[in-house]
């Protein structure tokens, strides 16, 4: 199984990624990592949000609130990534955003970090199909249960 990474993001940016339109995360350094990225809402708030936060966003703190696929990374250029991209930063490109059914309390960290097996287990319990479903999500260890398939 591939390693899953997590990223702590200040509020309201974490909510803007998971519940809103933000598909670029601004970072001071590039990353070579590609794949499943858990979005952890940090305890701190960033006061310079552009555009304004949506009052319907939950504003969870100190918890993993969703996941995304980190699909690319590029240096900011003039006019790229309007609205959410900052100049003089690296833009981490996010896709396939999914909110967790319930926020998962967790301690964050600077930069990319590796979540514990307990965190991954708790996320699997929220995201994986029941044994009657056949969807596979190998990114976090979900496999369909073929032994309990329905008989024709």
Mean pLDDT over the full length of the chain? 84
Q: Are strands 35-45 and 5-11 parallel, antiparallel or unpaired?
A: parallel
- Give CA–CA dist 22/97, Å, rounded: 10
- Give CA–CA dist 38/45, Å, rounded: 19
Alpha-helical (H) ranges within 19-136 are 117-127
Dihedral of CA 38/43/48/53: which sign?
Answer: positive
Confidence band for 148, pLDDT divided at 50, 70 and 90: very low
- pLDDT 10s digits, 28-49: 999 999 999 999 999 988 877 6
- pLDDT 10s digits, 49-66: 667 788 899 999 999 999
């Amino acid at each position: 199984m591939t390693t899953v990474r997590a990223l702590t993001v200040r509020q309201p940016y974490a909510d803007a990624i998971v519940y809103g339109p933000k598909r670029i995360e601004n970072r001071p350094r590039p990353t070579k990592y590609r794949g499943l990225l858990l979005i952890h809402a940090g305890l701190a708030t960033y006061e310079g949000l552009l555009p304004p936060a949506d009052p319907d966003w939950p504003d969870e703190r100190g918890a993993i609130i969703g996941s995304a696929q980190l699909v690319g990374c590029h240096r900011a250029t003039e006019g790229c990534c309007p609205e959410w991209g900052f100049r003089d930063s690296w833009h981490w490109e996010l896709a396939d955003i999914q909110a967790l059914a319930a926020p998962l309390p967790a301690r964050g960290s600077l930069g990319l970090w590796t979540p514990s097996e307990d965190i991954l287990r708790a996320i699997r319990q929220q995201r994986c199909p029941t044994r009657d479903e056949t969807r596979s999500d190998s990114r976090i260890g979900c496999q369909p249960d073929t032994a309990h398939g329905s008989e024709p």
